């Protein structure tokens, strides 16, 4: 008999997380455990056969926890790989709470990737939001709590929209809960609701402002996890359900440009990187919208490459934050002598995201743009290429230049603290940097993982020259107009303005008109209601005391008096009885005689 | 080693800048040669085929547009003081 033993990688992460507080003793034991759990999950993913596993009957529903196919495999592979890198990077955090939250977050992502129905998807979708918020809260700054709550509320809203879509779909299809292509050719209300739930997690404007808000505030290691999992799981969900949904093409292009524009304005390195996630995820969203095999391959390949290079960039800027406690360009500069290795790793991330030949972005991003050109979508393809110039401008040039070169804005304390980070953080960056270059140099590694056969060759002379021209002439523009890009000590208002200021309006309404009315009502009640009520109460109290109590107490006292007298008379002395009897006879006789 | 490598170029800034300009010219030159030798069969559009150094122009104009349009947009009131939300 063959035993169908399928272990869900999310289960490994959840069990690993809950056992984590029990792992005590020498630091080496803890570190081995920290590496072992994500490694086991990674091996689990590598050794999985394709097929459907983990099917459970729950009430009327057949829930599928393990759908292993080409699409889920590529995402499962990169998520578990990034979990290893992120855990290695965050290993030196004090306590285990950050890793605990991060592993549950990864479990949420893996659960959503491998599920086969909407109920399981929703369950893990929410786990992602509720676990990842702790990575913001654990930063422990004054604003962290509020930012975490904003993040959670936005994702709860997205989850509710998704749930509404799922329920409507369930009703419309007569109980179908399977998660697959949703039918983008004949969209209905539930199609759009489910799509909104997904694109909120993909940070598509106008539903994007949670991303820079939360990722800029997350802990050093937390941001490395966050930059990988939420948006890319959403891309997986979109690729699974919404391939070929036309509206995603313009939305993706808007994302790509939106992130670039805000990255110009940003003074905080990690918020800049966060805006660039929006830009890069825009390529993937557009790829899903194009929907051809080449475009879906491109979206998956770009998600894969993006997780590594964006993780690397967040690790680089996180290292600066970890060592100096600063992340704003206006507080940094000239650090290449103090943090040279971190600079090199961050630069590799920057070159990868900018799609330099021999780096990972070159073999992934261009596949989406080429798919656009192949489909004669010239405007989207040109605008995505324009955005790629912006990518190099910010992430490849602005970030490294204003942290490691440029004007030295460091305080004496910052300069003293600045140094390359601890070894584990350096190794994590080295691993990510290795993969960024390996993927760029050896394309079969990534292309063989993609869900469809790849017929795309990035290394043609024309494509290399095209990319180099765009990139190096962008660099020319950067150095010519560098003064325009000098850091300004400002923040940029984004669409979160509406709910951040909106919440202030809400609080004002709660405090002023509503609480004011409540106070007025209380006063009116006191005057018109409470005073007469108290008067009446006092009267009845008086009446009770003097009237009722007087009668009752008087009767009681009377009864008591007579009882006392009777007791005195009935003391058992015969002489006293006879004298009373004689007295009584005398009184009766006197009464008789006087009445005659 | 990394610092020495960087300092080597920083100490020879004029040479480095000239080297970079030379690289840019070389790129445009290769693009023109590719166009003349029929090496642009992977190009998708008319502009790529017939405008020499098209992607150089595109890269430079894109960069300039992004910088100036973004800054213009930012100064419309989008960029504001850091304690804006603390009121």
Least CB–CB distance from A472: residue in B23, B62, B73: B23
Structure tokens of A47?
């050794």
Contact yes or no for A134/A97 (Cβ under 8 A): yes
User: How many C-alpha atoms does A120 have within 13 Å on its Cβ side?
Assistant: 26
Give the per-residue pLDDT at A1.
Answer: 43
Residue-wise pLDDT for A14-49, tens only, equals 999 999 999 887 888 999 999 999 999 999 999 999
ipTM: 0.93
CB atoms within 10 A of CB A179: 22
Contact yes or no for A81/A439 (Cβ under 8 A): no
Chain A positions touching B60 (Cβ under 8 A) are: 473-474, 476-477
Residue-wise pLDDT for A536-587, tens only, equals 888 888 888 888 887 888 888 888 888 887 777 676 677 777 777 888 888 8
To the nearest 5 percent, what fractions of chain A are helix, strand and coil?
75, 5, 20
Report field, pTM of the whole predicted structure over 0.90: no
Pick the residue from chain A with its C-alpha nearest to B26: A469
Closest C-alpha to A221, from A124, A318, A136: A318
Helices (H), A325-377: 340-353, 360-374
CA distances from B28 to A1, A462, B23 (A): 68, 12, 9
Give the per-residue pLDDT at A2.
Answer: 46
Answer yes or no: do B3 and A469 touch at CB < 8 A: no
Alpha-carbon distance B22 to A147, whole Å?
49
* pLDDT band at A196; cut points 50, 70, 90: very high
Chain B nearest-CA distance from A161, in A, is 28
Chain B positions touching A460 (Cβ under 8 A) are: 42
Chain A positions touching B43 (Cβ under 8 A) are: 462
Alpha-carbon distance A496 to A262, whole Å?
13
Residue-wise pLDDT for A490-532, tens only, equals 999 989 899 888 877 888 888 888 888 888 888 888 888 888 8
Alpha-carbon distance A37 to A45, whole Å?
13
Least CB–CB distance from B60: residue in A343, A461, A477: A477
What is residue A48's DSSP assignment? Answer: P
Residue A210 CB burial class (10 angstroms; 0-12, 13-18, ≥19): buried
Pick the residue from chain B with its C-alpha nearest to A344: B2
Question: What is the pLDDT averaged over residues A110-129?
Answer: 96
- Quick one: angle between helices A27-46 and A70-89, nearest 10? 170
Contact yes or no for A238/A288 (Cβ under 8 A): yes
Whether A310 shows a pLDDT value over 80: the answer reads: yes
> For the residues of A188-218, what is the DSSP string, one character each?
-HHHHHHHHHHHHHTT-TTS-THHHHHHTTS
Chain A positions touching B27 (Cβ under 8 A) are: 465, 468-469, 472
What is residue A49's DSSP assignment? Answer: P
Chain B positions touching A337 (Cβ under 8 A) are: 3
* Virtual torsion, Cα A588, A591, A592, A594, nearest 10 deg: 160
Structure tokens of A323?
């060592």
Chain B nearest-CA distance from A446, in A, is 22
Classify the C-alpha dihedral A182-A77-A93-A428 as positive or negative.
negative
Residue-wise pLDDT for A61-86, tens only, equals 999 999 999 999 999 999 999 999 99
């Amino acid at each position: 008999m063959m035993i169908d033993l399928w272990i869900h990688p999310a289960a490994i992460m959840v069990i690993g997380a809950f056992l984590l507080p029990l792992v005590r003793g020498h630091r080496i034991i803890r570190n081995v455990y920290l590496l072992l759990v994500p490694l086991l999950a990674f091996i689990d993913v590598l050794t999985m056969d394709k097929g459907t596993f983990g099917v459970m009957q729950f009430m009327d529903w057949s829930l599928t926890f393990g759908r292993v196919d080409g699409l889920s495999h590529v995402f499962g592979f990169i998520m578990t790989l990034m979990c290893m890198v992120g855990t290695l990077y965050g290993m030196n955090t004090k306590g285990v709470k950050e890793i605990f939250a991060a592993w549950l977050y990864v479990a949420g992502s893996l659960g959503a990737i491998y599920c086969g129905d909407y109920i399981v998807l929703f369950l893990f979708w929410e786990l992602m939001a509720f676990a990842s918020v702790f990575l913001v809260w654990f930063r422990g700054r004054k604003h962290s709590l509020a930012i975490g709550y904003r993040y959670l509320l936005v994702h709860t809203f997205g989850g509710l929209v998704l749930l509404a879509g799922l329920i409507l779909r369930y009703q419309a299809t007569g109980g179908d809960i399977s998660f697959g292509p949703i039918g983008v050719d004949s969209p209905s209300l539930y199609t759009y609701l489910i799509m909104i739930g997904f694109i909120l997690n993909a940070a598509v404007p106008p539903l994007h402002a949670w991303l820079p808000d939360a990722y800029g505030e997350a802990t050093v290691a937390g941001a490395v996890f966050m930059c990988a999992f939420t948006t890319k799981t959403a891309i997986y969900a979109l690729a699974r359900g919404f391939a070929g949904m036309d509206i995603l093409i313009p939305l993706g292009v808007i994302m790509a440009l939106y992130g670039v524009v805000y990255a110009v304005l940003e003074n905080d390195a990690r918020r800049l990187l966060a805006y660039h996630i929006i830009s890069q995820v825009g390529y993937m969203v557009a790829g899903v919208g194009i929907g051809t095999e080449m475009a879906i391959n491109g979206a998956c390949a770009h998600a894969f490459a993006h997780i590594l290079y964006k993780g690397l960039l967040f690790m680089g800027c996180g290292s600066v934050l970890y060592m100096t406690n600063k992340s704003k360009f206006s507080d940094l500069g000239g650090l290449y002598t103090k943090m040279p290795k971190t600079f090199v790793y961050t630069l590799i991330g920057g070159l990868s995201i900018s799609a330099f030949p021999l780096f990972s972005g070159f073999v992934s991003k261009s596949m989406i743009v080429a798919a656009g050109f192949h489909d004669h979508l010239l405007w989207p393809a040109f605008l995505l290429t324009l955005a790629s110039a912006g990518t190099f401008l910010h992430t490849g040039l602005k970030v490294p230049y204003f942290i490691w070169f440029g004007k030295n804005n460091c305080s004496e304390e910052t300069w003293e603290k600045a140094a390359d980070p601890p070894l584990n953080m350096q190794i994590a960056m080295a691993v990510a940097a290795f993969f960024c270059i390996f993927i760029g140099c050896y394309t079969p590694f990534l292309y063989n993982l993609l869900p469809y056969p790849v017929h795309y060759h990035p290394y043609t002379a024309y494509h290399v020259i095209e990319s180099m021209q765009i990139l190096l002439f962008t660099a020319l523009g950067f150095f010519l107009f560098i003064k325009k890009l000098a850091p300004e000590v400002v923040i940029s208002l984004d669409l979160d303005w509406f709910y951040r200021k909106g919440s202030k309006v809400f609080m004002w309404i709660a405090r002023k008109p509503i609480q004011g009315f409540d106070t007025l009502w209380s006063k009116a009640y006191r005057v018109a209601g409470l005073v007469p009520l108290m008067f009446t109460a006092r009267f009845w109290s008086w009446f009770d005391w003097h009237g009722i109590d007087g009668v009752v107490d008087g009767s009681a006292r009377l009864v008591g008096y007579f009882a006392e007298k009777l007791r005195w008379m009935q003391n058992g002395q015969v002489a006293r009885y006879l004298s009373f009897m004689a007295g009584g006879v005398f009184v009766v006789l006197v009464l008789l005689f006087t009445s005659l | 080693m990394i610092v020495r490598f960087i300092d080597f170029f920083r100490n020879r800034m004029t040479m480095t800048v000239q080297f970079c300009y030379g690289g840019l010219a070389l790129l445009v030159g290769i693009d023109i040669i590719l166009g003349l030798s029929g090496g642009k069969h992977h190009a998708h559009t008319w502009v790529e085929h017939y405008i020499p150094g098209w992607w150089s122009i595109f890269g430079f104009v894109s960069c300039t547009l992004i910088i100036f349009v973004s800054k213009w947009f930012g100064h419309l009131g989008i960029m504001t003081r850091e304690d804006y939300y603390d009121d």
